[in-house]
Structures are given as structure tokens and as C-alpha cells.
């Protein structure tokens, strides 16, 4: 399973947003949304979330605590409503600076959720020459 593509949607007045139809079946019945260290949210399937947790649990306790606070403490367990929407908690929206419009970006094992304005800004600043160099360095 691999999430790909990008899709735009808007939050409604109750902080509900449609999960793109292309992602719904792959997400499954239960999935997780969490914050990361950049200004976006990450969505994981239940299986990928559990695999991610196992990796975090292997970190030395001296560094794991703060990481757990951010990622696990900021996580939200989710299910879709009958219309394919999910409510995103205020604290997560605040972290990602999402006010209304969002962009879902499939990046393999996770879906990133960006504020539309931040995603547009990121797209404008892409350094394609640098990315080409990196890909060539790794034989891609």
C-alpha cells in the first residue's frame, strides 16, 4: 500500500474535512492523525501507526520522552463518518496552521495534511536542481 497524489478540501464549521476518496479504502476503519516537527499533520493506517510506535518505543528513554509527548500526545484516533469526513481536533489544526483549506499529500506510508497556503509556499520554494542532484547521487 502506498499513498500518492495530492487533493484539496475545506474544513466545515465543525472542523470536519472529507478524506479524499482515493485514500479512504486504504486507510481502513481506524486511522491516526498526529503532529510532527514540521507544520503539517501526518495520517497513518492503524498497522503503520503500530509499526511506527514500535520504532519509537525502541528509542532510549532519555530521548524518547519528548518525542512521545509530541507525536503520541498529539495524536488523534479517528474513524470516518458516513460521509467520509473526519473531525480534526483544534490543537492539531493550530499546530498545522490550518484555518479552512487543506491539501492532502500522499507520501508512501503516510498522508501529510498541509494548510493550503503553506503547501503553496512550499511548492514555490522547491529547489528542483538540488533534488535532481540528490536523486542522481542515490541512483534514482
| Residue-wise DSSP of 16-83 | EEEPPHHHHHHH-S-EEEEE-SSSSEEEEEHHHHHHHHHHHHTS-HHHHHHHHHHHTTT-EEE---TT
Give me 139's grid cell. 541512483
Q: Is 104 among the domain residues?
A: yes
Q: Within a domain: residue 42? A: yes
Top-confidence residue, 65 or 43:
43
Domain count, the chain: 1
Give a yes or no: residue 96 inside a domain.
yes
Query: What's 109's domain CATH number?
Result: 3.40.1550.20
> pTM of this prediction?
0.90
Confidence of residue 47 (pLDDT cuts 50, 70, 90): very high
Give the Cα separation of 112 and 35 in Å (integer).
Answer: 10
pLDDT value, residue 93 = 97
Q: Is residue 114 part of a domain?
A: yes
- Name the band, by pLDDT with cuts 50, 70 and 90, for residue 67: confident
Q: What is the pLDDT of residues 88-139, one digit of tens each?
A: 999 999 999 999 999 999 999 999 999 999 999 988 888 888 889 999 989 9
Radius of gyration of the chain (CA): 16
Confidence of residue 62 (pLDDT cuts 50, 70, 90): confident
Q: Which domain, by its residues, includes 46?
A: 6-137
Is residue 1 scored above 80 in pLDDT? no
Q: Is the pLDDT of residue 49 over 90?
A: yes
**For residue 63, what pLDDT band results from cuts at 50, 70 and 90?**
confident
Residues facing 18 on adjacent strands: 85
| In a domain? residue 1 | no
Amino acid at each position: 500500500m502506498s499513498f500518492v497524489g495530492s487533493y484539496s478540501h475545506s474544513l466545515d464549521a465543525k472542523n470536519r474535512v472529507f478524506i479524499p476518496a482515493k485514500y479512504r479504502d486504504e486507510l481502513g476503519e481506524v486511522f491516526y492523525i498526529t503532529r510532527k516537527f514540521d507544520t503539517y499533520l501526518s495520517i497513518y493506517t492503524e498497522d503503520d501507526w503500530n509499526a511506527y510506535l514500535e520504532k519509537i518505543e525502541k528509542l532510549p528513554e532519555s530521548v524518547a520522552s519528548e518525542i512521545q509527548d509530541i507525536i503520541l500526545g498529539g495524536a488523534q484516533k479517528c474513524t470516518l463518518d458516513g460521509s467520509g469526513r473526519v473531525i480534526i481536533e483544534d490543537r492539531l489544526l493550530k499546530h498545522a496552521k490550518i484555518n479552512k483549506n487543506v491539501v492532502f499529500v500522499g507520501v508512501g506510508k503516510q498522508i501529510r495534511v498541509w494548510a493550503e497556503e503553506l503547501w503553496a509556499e512550499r511548492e514555490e520554494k522547491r529547489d528542483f536542481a538540488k533534488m535532481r542532484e540528490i536523486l542522481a547521487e542515490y541512483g534514482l
